[in-house]
């Protein structure tokens, strides 16, 4: 059965926990999606709407500095620079260890959630969903990403 929002005094609406989690996840998705806005749209400014105290971009400055660095490559594997400023400096073995630990954490959370599912009444009242197992479940995608980064670093000789 669905639970409607409950109303308390002073016209404040209290939402159930899953509704708050959904709102939190939606806000996180919106925040992360702003990373995929092309740099050209965020770096340009209309000349009619300039603020007096805003820094002015010199006309002698190269136009390529306003755009993101080109990350294309030729061949089987990309250069280390595609991993960003932190992981491009990490050795392959460190990334592999991070990947294995992340995978282990994800497997542990899945097994523990499976054990909680077997308890009587756990599905009906939702007690099998633990926030820390949900967070640990993100170790799976992290393990995949770090193992790919490890492969890239190994191919680049790091």
d(CA 126, CA 117): 9
Report whether 39 contacts 68 (CB < 8 A): yes
d(CA 14, CA 94): 45
Report whether 81 contacts 88 (CB < 8 A): yes
pLDDT in tens, 19-68: 778 888 888 888 877 766 655 544 455 555 555 555 555 555 555 555 66
pTM: 0.54
């Amino acid at each position: 059965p669905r639970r409607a929002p409950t109303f308390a005094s002073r016209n404040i609406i209290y939402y159930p926990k899953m509704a708050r989690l959904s709102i939190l996840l939606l806000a996180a998705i919106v925040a992360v999606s702003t990373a995929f806005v092309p740099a050209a749209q965020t770096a340009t400014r209309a000349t009619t709407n300039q603020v007096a105290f805003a820094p002015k971009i010199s006309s002698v400055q190269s136009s390529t500095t306003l755009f993101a660095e080109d990350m294309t490559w030729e061949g089987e594997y990309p250069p280390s620079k595609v991993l960003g400023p932190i992981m491009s400096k990490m050795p392959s073995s460190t990334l592999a260890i991070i990947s294995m630990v992340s995978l282990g954490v994800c497997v542990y959370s899945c097994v523990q959630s499976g054990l909680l599912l077997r308890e009587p009444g756990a599905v009906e009242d939702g007690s099998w969903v633990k926030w820390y197992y949900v967070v640990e479940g993100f170790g799976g995608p992290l393990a995949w990403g770090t193992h790919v980064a490890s492969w890239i670093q190994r191919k680049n000789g790091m």
